[in-house]
Structure 1
């Protein structure tokens, strides 16, 4: 999966969509950079296994990678919330920021539960699947709410376009490309989180590893939707906030 993230970074530079700012419209790019960094930490840590004490060998680099991944997932779901708000014409942005903060807190609780650095066997701080299930349920709620908002907006547009001429109908079909892209992402992540919840509740449950492929490719799909975002372009950049 890491190779897909690294390839996505290369694609971003090749297509000149690598620029960043501190607004929600570039959170999807932050997501890819954090994802690639986390995989890099994991790979380096695996290579440096023999240089660390036993507990650190097992946990240190994975904890570091997970902390970076916590920001990646926070920005991903914050971006999904932001896009859903933008598509519905809602200018309020605090729900997107709240989504980021909520994801970070729940992910850090999961890390606290999972990792430990005491002998023997480096046990986690406490043994429970509850933090993992709560985190995935949180992400599931974000996906469901975002999907519902987008479907509602699309139904409103379709209702308002009844009786419109052919040119207007073609316009609405083209306009829906971004909405459909985000719906595919939301439904794809919804399937991933549901399978993860089932696996956390029942470790014997065997799901096809195809969900991992879905996980990384929906991120690529999100990045492709950010190509119109211009960073540092003054008023022209501001005009792309809803893109």
Structure 2
């Protein structure tokens, strides 16, 4: 297992994933204002602040970002990390009208420590999502697991397919009853890739599907030359990731403002 020097990894993570963030589609753009790095993607994409370097004018900068997205008519997310300054940033965001959602743990690992041949339960196969039909099946499964409208995910995956036809935009584990788990890999940083999704039907949990999907995506990342993986982990997945070699780096809390 590659040891984590937390200070060095935080510096690298901030520099590569946050400060040099890549747009998540050709319709999005990343803007560096000096005080913040933000993505602007319009009503069908993710809009928000990825990094901030705030000082005494923090309240003014926060209000300016809120007003910027308000003028565009879109909701925005301020992605707050546990080591971000100033220390009272959560209070300042709340006072500006941003609402916090559940905190997750940022887990990191060297790709080489995680990549392995997926081990699946009997009768289960991995199926790459590479076309519109696969996207629809993945979106329906996501809705079943999380009980939310999958419209945003559907649009995001279809947009990625339109930009790069035939690309594996997600991977599903399929059993005789159909898709039972789905997850995504996104190479959204310089040398880093994010693992997203991890939606598994309740009666299929605890059978190794999450581990298999992590191994598959780590293998894809390794083949693409990506050196590091990260996950915004919920409490349910954090112990599994720790057993696979991921280590806790910091926390992240979405603060969301809606028009």
Q: Which has the higher contact order (CA 8 A, sep 6+)?
A: 2
Determine which structure has more spread, i.e. the larger CA radius of gyration.
1
Structure number with higher helix proportion: 1
Q: Shorter-normalised TM-score: what interval?
A: under 0.3
The TM-score normalised by the length of structure 1 is 0.26
More strand as a share of residues: 2
